[in-house]
Structure 1
């Protein structure tokens, strides 16, 4: 039986790659982006017969996301998988008063956007759940950048760290441990070849093609993996960074390259 999958941030990068992967499996898709013309054009590139519902919505707006969610449920039913993928990245410098707006913008999109994406679906999914049969899967796209704070990327690191902790909380709160509940999956990408990473002026170890990432991410979602880092090599790096003493981490990353500031021009995932 084919799945029903709802994906935000579907106008480029990881969002489109995930949509392609699910379309190849015959899934019914709900795709969300701020520009509906972009996802409508993308939908035309998918295989014939794939049912795709496209919605213009802003993850920063709870009302906008609720409208899109209700429209999708009316058209295709309660989804099996909801993927909160929409995200932006901006280099930031706290010495710059104007960058406070960037901090707020990144947090609003990456963290509140995840909440706004999930909220309309949680109750209908839980209502469908049965003992031993989760009512659906919530997937949060986090980042290795959320493991430790990166210089010059304070906004992005903070937002993705918040997503990791949010997903952990939801996993415990709604997890089907002996009761009807939901699966909650956290995917933490390392460096993935997308528009967001295309202009990074520094080495990106273990850079992974976005279609390979999508294939492995969908496999992890299907297995109900609680937390995974892709590619796996970055998972080892993440574990090492997590346990690295603070003094050693500070020393190692004090001179790490910074993501360039581009005021007013956030990069989408």
Structure 2
């Protein structure tokens, strides 16, 4: 065995959730090439169609479906129908997620907590569970987490908790899928220039253009990385933050600090 060779995925489709914008759309563009089959999933039809046009111009075959990843039954139907008609899935990218500011003190934010946790964690599980029967040996599952999952963040309890859970979920999944020889990659981006970060009211150090971030993610995915943090500055900062004692970590945050905006209906 050549331990220096890159893993080779089997032939098959690439399935991406949250593919209508941001990281999902950027990763789809990275993988677009003549003959590559895609299934793009997202909540809104129009953005998916716009991404599909770009991929088809690169010679790819594209199918799409508007679906909310919180709808487990719909995902099961889509996966079964797609696999029956188009064959196996070689790469599944569970990218769909939401980021909404929240306050544990406000009863009206209970619905926000439920939405964030359900979308980011259960939605990832529902997506992976639906397509797993159609992944052959040497296929790959990729889940998009966040550096926000390393430590608690002010004003983002729901989001940080959901991403912490995602990292542990994907690690457990990796152990479960070893017998099937299916790889699992967890990607923890820092601040990436996407619609999700566009309304952040605080400084965003090392903000990374989404196209450059997607290219780095693609390299990590293709090398079979188990865990990837980017950009590199955030990788080292996250390691430092994880080992800081809680008392020291808490003193890093001012008592009154701008945080992720809450949803105002």
1:141 aligns with 2:144: yes
Equivalent residue for 1:7, pick from 16, 24, 27: 16
Question: Alpha-carbon deviation of 1:251?
Answer: 1.1
Partner of residue 261, structure 2: 260
Partner of residue 157, structure 2: 154
Match of 1:80, SS state, is strand
CA distance in 2, matches of 1:77, 1:22: 18
Contact 1:2/1:26 (<8 A) preserved: no
Partner of residue 168, structure 2: 165
Deviations 1:17-63 (A, max 9, x none): 01111114753111001122321132112325310010111100111
Match of 1:40, SS state, is helix
Q: Which runs of 5+ in 1 are unaligned?
A: 265-269
Partner of residue 74, structure 2: 64
CA distance in 2, matches of 1:48, 1:238: 37
Contact 2:200/2:259 (<8 A) preserved: no
- CA change 1:48–1:25 in 2 (3 A) is closer
Report the TM-score when normalising by structure 1. Answer: 0.90
Q: Which runs of 5+ in 2 are unaligned?
A: 1-9
Partner of residue 174, structure 1: 177
Question: Alpha-carbon deviation of 1:224?
Answer: 0.6
Partner of residue 43, structure 2: 34
Partner of residue 62, structure 2: 52
Question: Alpha-carbon deviation of 1:221?
Answer: 0.6
CA distance in 2, matches of 1:41, 1:180: 35
CA distance in 2, matches of 1:103, 1:226: 28
Contact 1:3/1:26 (<8 A) preserved: no
Partner of residue 3, structure 2: none
Partner of residue 4, structure 2: none
CA distance in 2, matches of 1:66, 1:24: 27
Partner of residue 267, structure 1: none
| Matched residues, number | 254
CA distance in 1, matches of 2:177, 2:25: 28
Match of 2:54, SS state, is coil
CA distance in 2, matches of 1:18, 1:224: 16
Contact 2:33/2:58 (<8 A) preserved: no
CA distance in 1, matches of 2:244, 2:82: 44
Partner of residue 85, structure 2: 75
Partner of residue 247, structure 2: 247
CA distance in 2, matches of 1:191, 1:252: 19
Contact 1:57/1:68 (<8 A) preserved: no
